Amino acid sequence: AQKITQTQPGMFVQEKEAVTLDCTYDTSDPSYGLFWYKQPSSGEMIFLIYQGSYDQQNATEGRYSLNFQKARKSANLVISASQLGDSAMYFCAMREAGAIQGAQKLVFGQGTRLTINP
């Protein structure tokens, strides 16, 4: 069963506008973590932001914030004041427990390709 769903294959946004990238997840584990990664055309995976399931406040990291709605099982990434350099693939991921105690695996969504237009 798919555990991370990103419903927007591609998005086009004007520079300086805010953009929201959607992510919904499915888990029965009360303790979990949600992550967003950026993959520019050069191919590397860059960590952006983390939200724990017990965190009371939405996570923020500079221009990135995570709109965490636990009851709806959504963890949308908000990028404020978008820049041309924000053009990339964005992946939502969820931490789930591994078979070995202490191991924590990530499950990734299929990604959203964001294009910022000048």
* Inter-residue contact 70 to 61 (CB < 8 Å): no
Stretch that binds another protein, among 19-27, 29-37, 56-64, 65-73 (CB under 8 A): 29-37
To which residue do tokens 């939502």 refer?
92
* Identity of residue 45: M
Stretch that binds another protein, among 42-50, 57-65, 71-79, 80-88 (CB under 8 A): 42-50
Indicate the residue among 79 and 93 with the shorter CB distance to another protein. Answer: 93
CB of 72 to another protein, least distance (A): 21
Candidates 28, 71, 72, 99; binder of another protein (CB under 8 A) is 99
- φ, ψ for residue 86 (rounded to 5)? -80, -10
Q: Is 35 helix (H, G, I), strand (E, B) or coil?
A: strand
The CA distance from 71 to 79, in Å, is: 22
Candidates 12, 29, 106, 115; binder of another protein (CB under 8 A) is 106
